[in-house]
Amino acid sequence: MASLLSLPNELVLLIADSLRDEALLALASTSTRLNHLLIRTLFARSEIAPYAECLSSGHIPVISLRGDEVFALRTLAVARAITSVQHIFVDLYSPRTISTWQNYLLAVDALCMLATRLTYIGAVNFNPYFSLGYMRTEAETGQCVRKMAELLNALAVREEGTLLTVHGGVFSGDEEQLGGGRPFVHSIEQVVRGESVSVFSNARPPTPSRRNSPAPSTSSRRLPTIVQRVLRALGSLLALPRRLLRPAPANPRPHVQRPSLPPPDTETRFTSSPRPSPHASSILTTLPLSSTLRLTTLHIHSSHLLRAHLLPYTTLLLNSAPIHTLSLGNAHTQGQHTRELELVHYDWALILPTLTIPRLATLRIGAGVDIAVPDLMRFLRRHAASIADLDLSGHTPRGSLVLAEDVGLPRLRVVRAASEYLLHFFSVAFPPSATGSGEQGEEQHHPYAALRLVDVTSDDVSAYGLATYDRLLERLEALAAAAGPLRVERHGAIADARVREPDFAIDVVGRSGRAAERDVDSCANAEAGYLPSL
């Protein structure tokens, strides 16, 4: 290496032209002089050649890379001239190449290097897509899990509070066997006469491999299908004369319908026994978590962080980091490869009680999140002292919308949901307030003292939907009379429907479209005191 560093730049560039991409990347990582000398050659060989002009300024505003461009991501990671990136999009899904777990490790290593080396990262949008069908051992699965945790740790300790979004994460192969399954195993048993009969279980037995699958014995081998059909046809022909010559019975026995027997007097009950997945017991117990966490915004738009191996780490991260913005699920599909959060309601019933986020101010729950309404309300009550922005516009209510007595979010300023959802929140009796001045003594007893914006997002313009909206307006009029000025906006089909105007002087704005949604997001973030997320 010393002899190579003593060569002039022209000769080093001549040698670099004859090297392959991997060798050139390794050579550029050895020293600062070689890095500045060879980085433009690496940019020219990769898919980020247009970003070579950013080497002089050291800043890249936005960069987007796909699964077949991992070498470009690794080139960016070793480019010491680049010191800041505003937004990084890394989507390992690519229709042109098969993303293996080795490709996944290379991408995560490059992101970890960027998170450690760069002086500023505004936001990271990561789709950790790879195929589980290429993994064969539990050790390989554990290696991928630990690398993902290292990336989360590297981003969570940055001083600027990087916005992290994890989406996609489509897997293939035997997910349950390799730890990619759900975090809990559920089974329902029916007890009849003291014996348990399995009714439902989401735990799949391990798929036998070709090595340990028993070979079929010679006696159990079945005849070919054509031979079986010929033998059945011959048997039918031989039995035909006997059926034709058989005399009919003289006095056929009449058919008497017997009364049905009463059901046996037995004890029947159903028992549900959820338990943690066995895949979550061995890998995550030794994962480190830094005590200087600064992660403030986390968007979980896929089930990757909620799988069996990563759920304990994700729970610890959410409870330890100073997170004020949490998004579960995505209201808008980012592509055909994007899937929903593939957890069912009894998974969320076990996950939500373990989450306590003291600084949570903004909560967004989008489509594909199967959280039951009672579980969600219990989660909101625990965080009632901090939540200021609640977005349920993409969430479909699951379960009965029965009013609880202690529903109330006194610090809530902005809420977005469908009419039926909002009516569930505002069915509580409001205390009378003639002035609505919001004094300290009155705000403590009012369930929605700080509410200023209600965004009704509904596409139901049927008679039931319009009647629900009318009932909601009545409740909002009572709320405005008790708590002060209130702004109401309509989005979706309800914005263009003919509905009655409120009798009370509240500001009702009916708009539809993505531009209006962006305006509402900006208004909500400004009122909540946070910058809009990317």
Classify residue 467: in a domain, yes or no: yes
Q: Specify the residue for token string 């890249």.
A: 60
Report CA-CA distances (Å) from 161 to 120, 306, 344: 10, 22, 31
CA angle 500, 502, 507 (to 5 degrees): 120
Which two tokens mark 490?
Answer: 């309509």
pLDDT-based confidence at 90, cuts 50/70/90? very high
% of the chain at pLDDT higher than 90: 22
Could you tell me which residue, 220 or 74, shows the higher pLDDT?
74
Q: What is the pLDDT of residue 257?
A: 53
What domain count does the chain have? 1
Which two tokens mark 99?
Answer: 């993303």
β-strands 453-457, 414-417 pairing: parallel
**E strands present in 133-288:** 163-167, 184-185, 187-192, 195-201, 268-272, 275-276
Q: Tell me which DSSP letter residue 529 carries.
A: T
Averaged over 90-97, what is the pLDDT? 79
pLDDT-based confidence at 183, cuts 50/70/90? confident
Classify residue 488: in a domain, yes or no: yes
Longest dimension (CA), the chain: 116
Report CA-CA distances (Å) from 133 to 142, 148, 178: 15, 19, 9
β-strands 275-276, 507-510 pairing: unpaired
Q: What is the pLDDT of residue 494?
A: 80
In this model, does residue 30 exceed pLDDT 60?
yes
Classify residue 245: in a domain, yes or no: no
CA pseudo-torsion sign 434, 437, 443, 448: positive
Q: pLDDT per residue over 393-428, tens digit each?
A: 888 877 766 655 556 788 999 999 988 888 888 876
Q: Which residues pair with 305 in a beta bridge?
A: none
Q: pLDDT per residue over 350-379, tens digit each?
A: 899 999 999 999 999 988 788 888 899 899
Which domain range does residue 485 map to? 405-534
pLDDT-based confidence at 531, cuts 50/70/90? very low
Q: What is the pTM of this model?
A: 0.74
Q: What is the pLDDT of residue 57?
A: 92
Classify residue 416: in a domain, yes or no: yes
* Distance of alpha carbon 350 from alpha carbon 337, whole angstroms: 28
* Distance of alpha carbon 514 from alpha carbon 437, whole angstroms: 34
Q: What is the pLDDT of residue 305?
A: 85
- Number of residues in the chain: 534
Classify residue 359: in a domain, yes or no: no
In this model, does residue 33 exceed pLDDT 70?
yes
Could you tell me which residue, 268 or 33, shows the higher pLDDT?
33
Classify residue 332: in a domain, yes or no: no
Nearest residue to 267 via CA among 201, 199, 200, 196 = 196
Classify residue 47: in a domain, yes or no: no
Q: pLDDT per residue over 225-267, tens digit each?
A: 677 778 888 877 777 666 666 666 566 565 555 555 555 544 5
| C-beta atoms surrounding 20 within 10 Å | 9
% of the chain at pLDDT higher than 70: 65
Classify residue 446: in a domain, yes or no: yes
- The lowest-confidence range among 32-46, 86-100, 356-370 is 86-100
Q: What is the pLDDT of residue 148?
A: 87
